[in-house]
Structures are given as C-alpha cells and as structure tokens.
C-alpha cells in the first residue's frame, strides 16, 4: 500500500492556522483547540471542533465555507489514518471545493492572514498526490 501524505499540508499551513484570530473569544478558543488537534493528528476531534464553529455561521458566508473546507480536510485525515483511500480522496476533493468557494466569497477579507491562492495550491498538490493512491 502507498502511504497517505501526512500531514496534508506543510508546516506553514499549521502555523497559519495557529495565528488566525477573529477577535471573537469563543470562536478563537474553539478554533485554537481544533488546530491543536489537527497538529497532533487527532483529525476527528479537529473535525468536531470546527463543526461546532461552522454551525454558528450564517448561510453562504466565506467563513462558513472555509470552515467546511477545514472540516472536510480533517475528515480526509480520519480516512487517511484508517487507510480508506476512497474516503480520503472524496473528502480531500470536497475540502478543495469548499476552500475554492471560500476564496471566491472573499475569505481573505473575513478571515485575514493566509495567501488563499497558496492554500489552494497546497490542497491541489495533495489532490494530485492522491491520484496515485490505491482506490
């Protein structure tokens, strides 16, 4: 079996996640917990934390889509750890779709900090790598 890429992103992505803040104390605390889970490879827990934040967002906002993207990437991590290649690929592609829409909706204004084009390139690169995986 071909090992799955882990982590999904370079350290720069995790470093950016740590530094992102909205000014909302509850959001920032839960997001910080999700990042800690992500960095330690506890993708299910990261997924659950980001999902709590996602539920509190208005419909079709850039932040809601960005959170959906992170949720899907965490789900890809869960599937990857279980070596479920089809699920890994499915969630990775879904995450890319949500992050792309977040960029279109202006996530860089709502959640400043990253170079969103670079983030999308990282996800696209992981997507290219996953095409070589079994399943």
Verdict on whether the full-model pTM lies above 0.85? no
Per-residue pLDDT, 50: 92
Per-residue pLDDT, 68: 93
Ranges of each domain in the chain: 11-130
Per-residue pLDDT, 132: 59
- 22 by Cβ neighbours in 10 Å (0-12 / 13-18 / 19+) ranks as middle
Q: Which CATH class is domain 11-130?
A: mainly alpha
Per-residue pLDDT, 4: 53
Name the token pair of 129: 């790598």
Per-residue pLDDT, 59: 85
How confident is the chain (135 residues) per 10-residue block, as mean pLDDT? 53 67 80 88 93 88 89 90 86 88 82 68 71 54
Residue 134: count other Cβ atoms within 10 Å of its Cβ. Answer: 8
In the chain, what are the helix, strand and coil shares in percent, each to the nearest 5?
70, 0, 30
């Amino acid at each position: 079996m071909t090992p799955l890429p882990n982590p999904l992103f370079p350290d720069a992505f995790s470093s950016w996640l740590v530094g992102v803040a909205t000014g909302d104390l509850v959001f920032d605390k839960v997001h910080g917990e999700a990042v800690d889970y992500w960095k330690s490879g506890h993708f299910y827990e990261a997924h659950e934390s980001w999902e709590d934040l996602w539920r509190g967002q208005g419909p079709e906002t850039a932040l809601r889509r960005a959170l959906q993207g992170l949720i899907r990437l965490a789900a890809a991590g869960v599937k990857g750890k279980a070596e479920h290649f089809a699920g890994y690929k499915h969630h990775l592609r879904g995450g890319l779709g949500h992050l792309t829409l977040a960029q279109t909706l202006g996530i860089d204004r709502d959640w400043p900090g990253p170079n969103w084009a670079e983030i999308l390139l990282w996800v696209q690169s992981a997507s290219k790598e996953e095409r070589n995986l079994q399943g």
